[in-house]
Amino acid sequence: MAEHHVYFAVLGFDDDPLTLTLLTGTEPDDIWRTGESYSEALPEATRTENRWIISSGLDHHASHSDHFEKLLLRLERLGPGLPALRQRYRCGIGVSRYYFMDDPDFYLQADLLQRYRKLGLNVSFNQLSLDNTPASSTPLADETDIPET
């Protein structure tokens, strides 16, 4: 079974996160601050940059297509706030997909990709293959840009 994480992030900004919230009129789903610990289990692992994050809001086991659709609806509702963010800050779509199989299929409909492009956002993703065999403990990563159609 695959697990998906799809989100929009403003990265590496120095402003107070409230500035971004006021600019968009939307509360983020998460905020990362430089120097914060990732988890209590590994307190020495700290975040290296600030992030202001809007996620799809779906369960991590929903399909990747559903995640992209839901996130797109949330981004379209930002109206002029999205171009304002993109002009002032480094922004992007983050996608992580964890799967346990040899040949994963990743497909997004052309009209969905076109709607992202209309917002000025390109789509790329990383896939991590977690091998079930005891001999392998290292995930294999594959970064792919989804081509224009």
pTM of this structure: 0.71
Separation between Cα atoms, residue 53 and residue 130, nearest integer Å:
26
> 11 - beta bridge partners?
51, 90
* Residue 52 CB neighbours (<10 A): 26
Helix %, strand %, coil % for the chain, to 5?
Answer: 25, 30, 45
pLDDT of 138? 39
Q: Is the dihedral of CA 60, 61, 62, 64 positive or negative?
A: positive
Sequence-distant (≥ 6) Cβ neighbours of residue 148 within 8 angstroms: 113, 117
pLDDT value for 128:
57
Domain count, the chain: 1
pLDDT in tens, 59-116: 888 888 899 999 999 999 999 999 999 999 999 888 776 665 555 566 678 888 889 8
Instruction: Give mean pLDDT, residues 7-31.
Output: 94
Please give the Cα distance from 79 to 102 (Å, whole number). Answer: 40
Give the residue numbers spanning the domain of 23.
3-145
* Among 16-30, 81-95, 125-139, the least confident range: 125-139
